[in-house]
Structure 1
Amino acid sequence: MRLHHLLLALLFLVLSAGSGFTQGARNHVTCRINRGFCVPIRCPGRTRQIGTCFGPRIKCCRSW
């Protein structure tokens, strides 16, 4: 029975730690806090979009 509790706690930790990366940045301040930068075009090179900065056209990008 203790093993089930341990596995449930581990699952909770894994899912809660990943939740911060699934929520998109919505303005330039949260973009900077998430170690990103704002660009008006596609994310360049080895970066990926993690949200938007001022609207749907300005993207918040972060390197891998």
Structure 2
Amino acid sequence: MRLHHLLLVLLFLVLSAGSGFTQVVRNPQSCRWNMGVCIPISCPGNMRQIGTCFGPRVPCCRRW
């Protein structure tokens, strides 16, 4: 019976950790929380866009 409880806790942790990676970055604060930077031009070559900061024109960029 203890094994079932352990597996249930493990399943809960896996599912709750996975949900954090599916959140959309849409403002400067969530951009910083995701280790990104708001850049008013397109992302440089060593960075990729992970969302937007102030609307569709300002990307939130993060290093690879």
With the length of structure 1 as denominator, give the TM-score of the two structures. 0.68
Equivalent residue runs for 1:31-46 within 5 Å: 31-39=31-39, 40-41=41-42, 43-46=43-46
Residues 10 and 46 (structure 1 numbering): CA distance in 2 closer, same or farther, change over 3 Å? farther
Query: What is the CA–CA distance in structure 1 between the aligned matches of 2:56 and 2:37, rounded to whole Å?
Result: 15
Partner of 1:24: 24
Letter in structure 1 aligned against 2:9: A
Gaps of 5+ in 2: none
| Distance apart, 1:49 and its partner CA | 3.0
CA distance in 1, matches of 2:48, 2:2: 40
Between the aligned partners of 2:20 and 2:45, the Cα distance in structure 1 is 23
Conserved 8 A contact 1:48-1:63: yes
- Structure 1 unaligned runs (5+)? none
Specify the SS of the correspondent of 1:11. helix
TM-score by length of 2: 0.68
Whether contact under 8 Å (1:25, 1:51) holds in the other structure is yes
How many residues are matched? 63
